[in-house]
Amino acid sequence: MASKKDFVKFDKVDKSYDGKILVVKDLQLDIAEGEFITMLGPSGSGKTTCLMMLAGFETPTNGEIYLDGNAISSIPPHKRGIGMVFQNYALFPHMTVYENLAFPLRVRKIPKDEADKKIDKALSMVSLQGFAARMPGQLSGGQQQRVAVARSLVFDPQLVLMDEPLGALDKNLRESMQYEIKHIHESIGVTVVYVTHDQSEALTMSNRIAVFNDGKVQQLSSPDELYEKPVNSFVAEFIGENNTFAGEVSDISDGKCKVKLANAEILANPISVKGKGEKTTVSLRPERALINPSDKMDNIHNGKIEEVIYHGDHTRVRINLLGNPEFILKIPNSSSNLDIKLGNEIKIGWNSDDARALDPK
Amino acid sequence: MSSENKQILTTDGIPLEVSLKKAEKKNKVKAFLLVAPLLLFIIITYVFPIGDMLMRSVDDKMVTEMLPKTYKSMETWDGEELPPEEVFEAFYFDFQKLIEEEREGKLSTQLNYTKNGFKSIIKKLRRKSKSFEEGNYKEQIMSVHKRWADVEYWRAIKRRAPAYTYQKYLKGMDMFENEKGEIVNVPEDRRVHRILWLRTLEIAFFVTVFCFLMAYPIAHLLATLPMKYSNLLMICVLLPFWTSLLVRTASWMILLQQQGIVNDFFVMIGLVSDDNRIEMMFNKTGSYVAMTQILLPFMVLPLYSVMKTISPSLMRAGKSLGGTPFIAFWKVYFPLTIPGIGAGCLLVFILAIGYYITPALVGGASGTLISNQIAFHMKSTLDWSFASAMGLMLLSGVLVIYWLYNKLVGIDNIKLG
């Protein structure tokens, strides 16, 4: 069967807790079957509320959510058959790992031998065979996390929700768990809706990312597109590092525009500006600007090195460029970069395609 | 490894263990001094009185000390027939000494406890013994009253010989030791204490059940409501706690009496007719109602403190995994509150089992508990040794419950806050 494009559908969903402020505004979101979609955003942006509405712990104030074509707003959580991994794992502390995993199977009245097979399979999926008799309190954070993942998958749900599941783990463990969850998703093809505020987590794991801010989806696209082609300055700021110039469009033609800054003019790629005189913020990724550029680049300017920070594999250089004292450059560490010294004047260049003229902040 | 066997030395050459002990000694002394006042307090106000109570409840030295010579001479008497002349002689001399010290009245009271009929014959012996001649005391004493020639009475005296006795405990269980030394029940119409023990257990049990049924939802609300409502509710729970026990009991009297507010209300809505008002006080109902209300906070607080620590995401997890709200509650939430239930029930049960003022005021005849009986013997009959015995029986009952609880649930599972 071909996978459905709108396996989960948020249709004009509004949510308000107090009747005054909308936490989620007019949300329109389709999630395809088998997709790994991440809701990314700062805290208070409405992403967790969306997840809770999907799980059934909150009801939409307005609009409807569809799961596999059926409206689910009036279905209580325990009848939705959605697996969920909670922020602090929410393992039942008085039950062994086995009993934790058996819980969803028992309430579904699955016979014991079949349940045992499913539990074995789920535990081997997260490589925790032999831990069935342990209590959750005897496990490390990473192991508890795996049990939580296994428990959410053991009853073969079509949809699994994960609410910042890796937030409590240390950095190394978090990274290895990211790959593990991604591999599990790829191997069983379940649809995953993942909520996080960690952008690198979102970029590593997802098929698509929905960036939330202020109760709205700002951009919904694949990780690379999100990073390379942000559609507004919030997304550009939120995902990765970003250099900005605030200015005014002075000319626009042939898919290029001239932006007048305080004391200079740069060429940029007009994304959300339409005509002359509009205020804009030009966004440029640090790795897209080069020092000592070839003449082919259509933006070349001089800047003064203010700070040099050594990062092991690369060096970050802060430059005062065109009135922006916070312009950051990333330079791979190789023997050729000898003239990067504090106070030196250097030439910086970039292509106007990479400098995206977005909405003013 | 070789270092395991070798003694580790500090840089000064002192063995590390010695040095560590020295360094920690100061802290230990400090810690002990900090708890010393409390320790002293506990010894003075708790260990010592309980020890004294224990002594008092088994103490039977009074008669032993009053008749030292008699008991000495009785050692060889087998108790089958009347004792020999030496016993009568020794008894006469002991008795004369008591008359000199004017203590013969106490002896008659004490012996009368053991066997009825001693009071009058001792009085008579006192009068007649003034004119006794030296020698042949057996004949002279037996001629005072025919009971003095009855071997039963001498056996009764001998029974009081040991300095310690468990008679008071038997009495507390409505039993006694008869002339043959067998432990038997008192006649049915005189059994008071067993009924009281059972009633105490029954009332304590049901008060605990009622408290649990009422406190569980309240504690759950307290733990889950938003702060501003839960604070208000908490004050409502604690407010009675801050009111004097007597005031609360008295207000129940106002509410529950036959001309009281509750009955007035029932009459008003036509539930009962005016001349048929419900008796809700001076019986078990009164004890149940008032004690449940008074002990409720002791159940709410431990439950609340446990429920507060249960993450709401656990219930959500239970539901998202397919459990109905009831299953999620019963399989996930409820088992996690067991430490609080245990603590609350134990606390309420133990408090209820020794409750005194409230049953005394609203319990009436059918609602009084064993503690009221203890108080009665302390204040009215002045039989302190009996009161002590019953107090210790109550204490050991509580200890048994505690032990049972520890066996079943484990005391380290308890959570009071």
Which pLDDT score, from 0 to 100, does residue B415 have? 60
Domain spans in chain B, listed from the N-terminal domain onward: 16-58, 61-163, 193-413
Answer yes or no: do A130 and A266 share one domain.
no
Query: Whole-angstrom Cα distance, residue B325 to residue B315?
Result: 8
> Which CATH number characterizes residue A101's domain?
3.40.50.300
B325 has a chain A CB within 8 A of its CB: yes
Q: Which amino acid is at B415?
A: K
Which pLDDT score, from 0 to 100, does residue B287 have? 87
Query: At B4, is the pLDDT very low, low, confident or very high (cuts 50, 70, 90)?
Result: low
3-state secondary structure (DSSP) of residue B145: coil
B391 has a chain A CB within 8 A of its CB: no
Overall average pLDDT of the B46-70 stretch:
87
Q: Are A161 and A107 in contact (CB under 8 A)?
A: no
Q: Which domain holds residue A306?
A: 241-291+300-358
CB contact under 8 A, B328 and A83: no
Task: Assess whether pLDDT exceeds 70 at residue B3.
Answer: no
Task: Assess whether pLDDT exceeds 50 at residue B1.
Answer: no
Overall average pLDDT of the B333-362 stretch:
89
CB contact under 8 A, B321 and A81: no
Domain B193-413, CATH homologous superfamily name and number = MetI-like (1.10.3720.10)
> Which residue has 């910086």 as its token pair?
A348
Domain count, chain A: 2
Task: Assess whether pLDDT exceeds 70 at residue A335.
Answer: no
Query: At A329, is the pLDDT very low, low, confident or very high (cuts 50, 70, 90)?
Result: confident
Q: Are A286 and A318 in contact (CB under 8 A)?
A: no
Closest CB to B322 among A92, A104, A161: A104
Overall average pLDDT of the B66-73 stretch:
87
From the list A221, A196, A200, the residue with the least C-alpha distance to A209 is A221
Overall average pLDDT of the B55-60 stretch:
85
Which pLDDT score, from 0 to 100, does residue A336 have? 64
In a domain, A206, yes or no: yes
pLDDT digits 0-9 by tens, A181-192: 898 898 888 999
Task: Assess whether pLDDT exceeds 50 at residue A140.
Answer: yes
A17 has a chain B CB within 8 A of its CB: no
Which pLDDT score, from 0 to 100, does residue B416 have? 57
Which residues in chain B are closer than 8 Å to A79, comparing Cβ atoms?
A: 322
In a domain, A50, yes or no: yes
Which pLDDT score, from 0 to 100, does residue A1 have? 42
CB contact under 8 A, B313 and A108: no
CB contact under 8 A, A81 and B324: no
Residue in A with minimal Cα distance to B324:
A78
Task: Assess whether pLDDT exceeds 80 at residue A273.
Answer: no
Answer yes or no: do A44 and A161 share one domain.
yes
> Average pLDDT of chain B?
86
From the list A193, A199, A181, the residue with the least C-alpha distance to A48 is A193
Answer yes or no: do A48 and A180 share one domain.
yes
Query: Whole-angstrom Cα distance, residue B155 to residue B118?
Result: 12
Task: Assess whether pLDDT exceeds 50 at residue A100.
Answer: yes
Query: Whole-angstrom Cα distance, residue B294 to residue B367?
Result: 16
Overall average pLDDT of the A247-264 stretch:
81
> Which residue has 């003034």 as its token pair?
B130
Answer yes or no: do A56 and A198 share one domain.
yes
Closest CB to A88 among B311, B325, B331: B311
Residue count of chain B, please give it.
417
pLDDT digits 0-9 by tens, A192-240: 999 998 888 888 889 999 999 888 888 999 998 888 888 888 888 888 8
Q: In this structure, what are the phi and psi dihedrals at residue A61, rounded to the nearest 5 degrees?
A: -70, -30
Query: At B2, is the pLDDT very low, low, confident or very high (cuts 50, 70, 90)?
Result: very low
Residue in A with minimal Cα distance to B336:
A94
Which pLDDT score, from 0 to 100, does residue B185 have? 85
> Which residue has 């079957």 as its token pair?
A33
Contacts A–B by Cβ distance under 8 A: 67
Query: At A3, is the pLDDT very low, low, confident or very high (cuts 50, 70, 90)?
Result: low
Residues 279-318 of B with CB under 8 A from A: 311, 313-314, 316-318
Q: In this structure, what are the phi and psi dihedrals at residue A244, rounded to the nearest 5 degrees?
A: -125, 150
Q: For residue A356, what are the β-bridge partners?
A: A269, A283
Which residues in chain B are closer than 8 Å to A161, comparing Cβ atoms?
A: 320
CB contact under 8 A, A78 and B328: yes
Task: Assess whether pLDDT exceeds 60 at residue B293.
Answer: yes
Answer yes or no: do A220 and A254 share one domain.
no
Residue in B with minimal Cα distance to A52:
B316
CB contact under 8 A, A103 and B318: yes
Residues 96-125 of A with CB under 8 A from B: 103-104, 107-108
Residue in A with minimal Cα distance to B334:
A94
CB contact under 8 A, A104 and B336: no
CB atoms within 10 A of CB B226: 7
B396 has a chain A CB within 8 A of its CB: no
Q: Indicate if ipTM > 0.85.
A: no
CB contact under 8 A, B313 and A86: yes
CB contact under 8 A, B316 and A86: yes
Which pLDDT score, from 0 to 100, does residue B413 have? 65
Residue count of chain A, please give it.
361
CB contact under 8 A, B313 and A87: yes
Overall average pLDDT of the B351-376 stretch:
86
Please report, rounded to a whole number, the percentage of residues in chain B having pLDDT higher than 90.
Answer: 20
CB contact under 8 A, B322 and A155: yes
Per-residue buried b or exposed e for B389-403, using 16+ beta carbons within 10 Å of the residue's own CB: bbbbbbeebbeebee
In a domain, A1, yes or no: no
Overall average pLDDT of the B354-383 stretch:
85
Gap from B323 CA to chain A (nearest CA, Å): 6
Q: Which of A87-96, A118-127, A309-318 has the lowest mean pLDDT?
A: A309-318
pLDDT digits 0-9 by tens, B153-175: 888 888 888 888 888 888 888 88
**CB neighbour class for B152 (10 Å; exposed up to 12, middle 13-18, buried from 19):** exposed
Q: Which of A233, A250, A278 is the last residue of a domain?
A: A233
Closest CB to B323 among A56, A81, A107: A107
> At how many degrees (to 10) do helices B284-308 and B334-353 cross?
140
Q: Which of A198, A215, A233 is the last residue of a domain?
A: A233
CB contact under 8 A, A92 and B322: no
Q: The tokens of B67 are what?
A: 């008749």
Q: Which of A233, A264, A283 is the last residue of a domain?
A: A233
pLDDT digits 0-9 by tens, B126-147: 888 888 888 788 888 888 888 8
| CA-to-CA dists, residue B390 to A140, B80, B176, B361, angstroms | 53, 34, 15, 21
In a domain, A3, yes or no: no
Task: Assess whether pLDDT exceeds 60 at residue B61.
Answer: yes
Q: In this structure, what are the phi and psi dihedrals at residue A355, rounded to the nearest 5 degrees?
A: -95, 105
Query: At A2, is the pLDDT very low, low, confident or very high (cuts 50, 70, 90)?
Result: very low
Cα within 13 Å of Cα(B99), Cβ side = 15
